[in-house]
Amino acid sequence: MAGRPARVLPGAGLRRTSGAATVECVRGDITAQDDVDAVVNAANARLAPGGGVAGAIHRAAGPGLAEEAMPLGPMGPGEAVITGGHGLPNRFVIHTLGPVYGQDRPEAELLARCYRTALALAEENGASSVAFPAISTGIFGYPIEEAAEVALQTVRDEAEGLRVVRLVRFVLFSEGDLRAHERALSEAF
Ligand code: ADP
């Protein structure tokens, strides 16, 4: 709901509501989101364990995650697949491949597609809460401010059509990344 005043919760980042869905930004670790149904993995094309988010998710989930996920690959930028959560506290992991900045074009469209496809998979599988990391902003080099705008605008555009997902959480690793997402959230909602 555009124009709604921001509610700042101590330690919980910024939160806005659009229709039936709440969108919030928090600082934290994507592997420690015990209260959400699905966490999103900033995956690589092979769906293999790697660095960054993918490394952390696969370490926390255990080898069963790669065993389930890798046969579903390879993926192209903007695509997503869903698996079980294995050793994670979540029912699902939604794996999406972000664009490599300056290489996979058009970057903004491909990044938006990651968020749309991931939300669609959450809807289809009955996940009512989803936590996203800042896809493409690590090894893939997407500037954080630009990525945050694409991410929050895409969620804003999708929010009205959501029937199952009630909570979309952005989990940011650094204070600077959290601030960029809070700004983008305030602008989008
Ligand atoms: P990509 O390959 O899509 O760029 P990365 O995993 O390299 O993905 O990084 C994506 C973002 O996630 C970066 O901003 C990075 O700082 C952040 N990040 C790394 N590890 C974690 C984690 N455990 N929880 C949340 N965010 C993380």
Neighbours of 104 (CB within 10 A): 18
pTM (two decimals) = 0.94
Burial of 101 (C-beta count, 10 Å sphere; 0-12/13-18/19+): middle
Q: Please tell me whether residue 80 adopts helix, strand or coil conformation.
A: strand
- Residues 26-79: pLDDT tens digits? 999 999 999 999 999 999 999 999 999 999 999 999 999 999 999 999 999 999
With tokens 């039936």, the residue in question is: 20
Alpha helices (H) in the chain, listed in sequence order? 52-61, 63-69, 107-124, 144-159, 175-188
Q: How far is the CA of 39 from the centre of ligand 1 (A)?
A: 13
Which superfamily does 16-188 belong to? Leucine Aminopeptidase, subunit E, domain 1 (3.40.220.10)
Tokens of 81: 């697949």
- Where do the structural domains in the chain lie, given as residue ranges? 16-188
Which of 27, 41, 53 for a ligand 1 pocket mutation test, highest count of atoms within 8 Å of Cβ? Answer: 53
Alpha carbon nearest to ligand 1 atom 15, residue: 138
Separation of alpha carbons 128 and 37, rounded Å: 6
37 lines ligand 1 (CB under 6 A): no
100 lines ligand 1 (CB under 6 A): no
pLDDT for res 6: 47
- Residues 130-139: pLDDT tens digits? 999 999 999 9
